[in-house]
Amino acid sequence: MEKLTGGKAESPRETWLLTGGAGYIGAHVAESLAGAGKRVVVVDDLSTGLASRVPAGAELVTCSVLDTEQLTDVMRRFQVDGVIHLAAKKAVDESVSQPLHYYHQNVRGTASVLEAMSSAGVRRLVFSSSAAVYGVPPAGPVTESTPTAPINPYGATKLICEWLVRDAAPALDLSWISLRYFNVAGAGRPDLGDPGATNLLQLTLQALTRGARPQVFGQSHPTPDGTCIRDYIHVADLADAHLAAVRQLDRPDSPELHDVYNVGCGRGASVLEVLRTVQRVTGIRRPYEIAPARPVDPPDVVADPARIQAELGWSAKHDLDSMVSSAWAAWQHAAVVTVSAGTGSHP
Ligand SMILES: NC(=O)c1ccc[n+]([C@@H]2O[C@H](COP(=O)([O-])OP(=O)(O)OC[C@H]3O[C@@H](n4cnc5c(N)ncnc54)[C@H](O)[C@@H]3O)[C@@H](O)[C@H]2O)c1
C-alpha cells in the first residue's frame, strides 16, 4: 500500500477538522494528515462520500456543514485547531441546471463553517478552491494574479467562497489559505479512486471498459493537436499540498497568514495525449470519436505553480503516467467491488 505522505510524525495533538473528508480528495487529505501525526475529525453528510474512506483512527461525524450548531459543537468537543473545508458540490453541468442548490450548498455551507469557527474560536482555515475561478484565462501560464472570471455557477460559488473567507478573516482573526486545484486525477491507493465519471480520465476509462469510443470535444482549438490542454495533478500530490498549507498555518511566526495558491504541475496535457496514455496503460485500444466542441471550453489552462513552490515548498511529484495507472488500478478495484456486491453501479 502506498503511503500518501513521507511526512514524519509531528505535534500529535494538533486536531484538524476536514469537511468533506469522506470524499475523493478529502480521504487523501485525511490520510496525509493522519500520516503526519495530526488528529483528524471528518464532518461529512455522505451525500457523495463514503464512510469506508475515512482512515482508521480518524473520527467521522455524519452531518451537513449547513448545520452550524452541530458543526460548532463538533469543533468545541474535539478542540479543533484548524479546518480544511472541502465539502461542496462540484459538477459543472449540474451547477448550471441547479444553480440555487449550488449556491446554497457551497456558499451558504462556507458561511456556516465560518460561523461555527467564529463561535468555537477556531482560527486556521484551508479552503478548497478551484481553477474554475479563472474561467477562460488569457494565453500563457495561469498565475494567482490572472483575472478571475468564472463561466459557470460552480466556478462562481468557489470565487464567492474565497471572497467570504478573505472578508471574514480580519473580523474572525483567521489565518487562511485557499488552494486553487487544477484537474485532479489518479488515486493514492486503489480503494481511494474517484467514484465519479465527470472528468476526462474517468470518462475515457468508462467508455473503453464499456466497449464505447471515447469522445473528443472539438479538434480545432488553437493548440498544437487541436484538442484542449489541461494541467492534471495527482490527488496524492494535492493531499501533500494541503499538508504543506497546514504546516504553514501551524507556524507560530505566521499568525496573520492569508494567501491563495495554484495547485497544479505547471505542465499541460492535451485530450489526445491523455487518450493515448490511457490506451497504452490499459491496453484497450479503440478509435476516438470527434464530438462538437462545447460552447465555452478554454483551449489551454495550465497553472504557474511558482508561488506555492517558493512559499510552501511544495511541488508535484507524479506525472501523467502515474495518474493514469493509479486511476486504472482504482477503476479495476471498484469494478471488482461492484461485481462482488452485485450492485452493477460502477460509473
Ligand atoms: N475533483 C476535482 O477535480 C476538483 C477540482 C477543483 C476543486 N475541487 C474541490 O475539492 C473539493 C472536494 O472535491 P472531491 O472531488 O473530493 O468531491 P467529492 O464529491 O468526492 O467530495 C465532497 C465531499 O463533501 C461531502 N459533502 C458535500 N456536501 C456536503 C455538506 N453540505 N455537508 C457535509 N458534507 C458534504 C460529500 O459527501 C463528499 O464526501 C470540493 O470543494 C471541490 O469543489 C475538486
In the reported structure, the alpha carbon of residue 21 is separated from the centroid of ligand 1 by a whole-number distance in angstroms of 8
Q: Answer whether residue 303 is part of any domain.
A: yes
Domain-ending residue, one of 221, 245, 263: 263
Domain holding 321, by residue range, is 190-229+266-340
Cα(285) to ligand 1 centroid in Å equals 32
> Does residue 25 have its Cβ closer than 6 Å to ligand 1?
yes
Residues 70 and 122 in one domain: yes
Distances (CA, A) of 256 to 164, 166, 173, 248, 278: 17, 12, 8, 11, 44
CATH number of the domain encompassing residue 182: 3.40.50.720
Question: What CATH number is associated with residue 316?
Answer: 3.90.25.10
Interval between CA 141 and ligand 1 midpoint (Å): 26
Q: What pTM was computed for the model?
A: 0.94
Ligand 1 contacts CB of residue 318 (under 6 A): no
The amino acid that residue 238 corresponds to is L
Report the nearest-CA residue for atom 23 of ligand 1.
20
Q: Is the CB of 22 under 6 A from ligand 1?
A: yes
Determine the Cα–Cα distance for residues 331 and 328; give it in Å rounded to an integer.
5
- Are the C-beta atoms of 116 and 43 separated by less than 8 Å? no
Residue 182 Cα to ligand 1 midpoint, Å, equals 14
* Domain membership flag for residue 3: no
Residues 139 and 64 in one domain: yes
CA gap 40, 153 in Å, rounded = 31
Which residues have C-beta within 8 Å of that of residue 189, sequence separation ≥ 6?
A: 1, 2, 4, 330
Q: Is 47 in the pocket of ligand 1 (CB under 6 A)?
A: yes
Q: What is the pLDDT of residue 14?
A: 93
**Beta strands at 124-130 and 215-217: parallel, antiparallel or unpaired:** unpaired
Are residues 237 and 210 part of one domain? Answer: no
Residue 276 in domain: yes
Q: Given this model, what pLDDT does residue 316 score?
A: 98
Same domain for 117 and 196?
no
Residue 239, ligand 1, Cβ within 6 A: no
Is 99 in the same domain as 136?
yes
93 lies in the same domain as 202: no
d(CA 255, CA 123): 9
* Among protein residues, the one whose CA lies closest to atom 18 of ligand 1: 23
Backbone angles phi, psi at 300, to 5 degrees: -150, 110
Q: Please indicate whether residue 112, judged by its CB atom, sits closer than 6 Å to ligand 1.
A: no
Question: Given this model, what pLDDT does residue 6 score?
Answer: 41
Q: CB of 68 closer than 6 A to ligand 1?
A: no
Whole-number Å distance between alpha carbons of 272 and 171: 48
Q: Are 106 and 47 in contact (CB under 8 A)?
A: no
Is residue 238 classed exposed, middle or buried when 0-12, 13-18 and 19+ CB atoms within 10 A define those classes? buried
Q: Where is the domain boundary, 210, 244, 263?
A: 263
Output the CA 124–ligand 1 centroid distance in Å: 20
90 lines ligand 1 (CB under 6 A): yes
- Ligand 1 in reach of 236 Cβ (< 6 A): no
User: For residue 5, what pLDDT is reported?
Assistant: 44
Within a domain: 37: yes
Indicate whether 79 belongs to any domain. yes
- As given in the structure block, the three cell numbers for residue 51 are 464512510
**Domain match, 310 and 206 both:** yes
Considering the domain architecture, whether residues 152 and 205 belong to the same structural domain is answered as no
Q: How far apart, in Å, are the Cα atoms of 250 and each of 39, 111, 188, 199?
A: 14, 23, 25, 34
Query: Which residues are part of the catalytic machinery?
Result: 154
Domain annotation covers residue 330: yes
Residue 1 included in any domain:
no
Q: Are residues 161 and 28 in the same domain?
A: yes
pLDDT tens by residue, the chain, 347 residues: 344 444 444 545 799 999 999 999 999 999 999 999 999 999 999 999 999 999 999 999 999 999 999 999 999 999 999 999 999 999 999 999 999 999 999 999 999 999 999 999 999 999 999 999 999 999 999 999 999 999 999 999 999 999 999 999 999 999 999 999 999 999 999 999 998 878 899 999 999 999 999 999 999 999 999 999 999 999 999 999 999 999 999 887 665 677 999 999 999 999 999 999 999 999 999 999 999 988 888 999 999 999 999 999 999 999 999 999 999 999 999 887 766 666 544 55
CA angle at residue 93 from 85 to 52, to 5 degrees? 45
Provide the β-strand partners of residue 129: 180
| Residue 6 counted as domain residue | no
Q: Which residue, judged by its Cα, is nearest atom 2 of ligand 1?
A: 184
CA atoms within 13 A on the CB side of 169: 21
Residues 107 and 256 reside in one and the same domain: yes
- Ligand 1 atom at minimal distance to the Cα of residue 53: 39
Specify whether 23 is located in the same domain as 156.
yes
Report the run of H or E that residue 334 belongs to, with start and end.
Answer: helix 320-341
102 C-alpha to ligand 1 centroid (Å): 12
21 lines ligand 1 (CB under 6 A): no
pLDDT of residue 342: 61
Mutate to test the pocket of ligand 1, among 17, 19, 25, 126 (most ligand atoms within 8 A of CB): 25
Number of H helices, E strands in the chain: 11, 14
CA of 128 to the centre of ligand 1 (A): 9
**Domains: count for the chain:** 2
Closest ligand 1 atom to residue 105 Cα is: 31
Same domain, 219 and 236: no
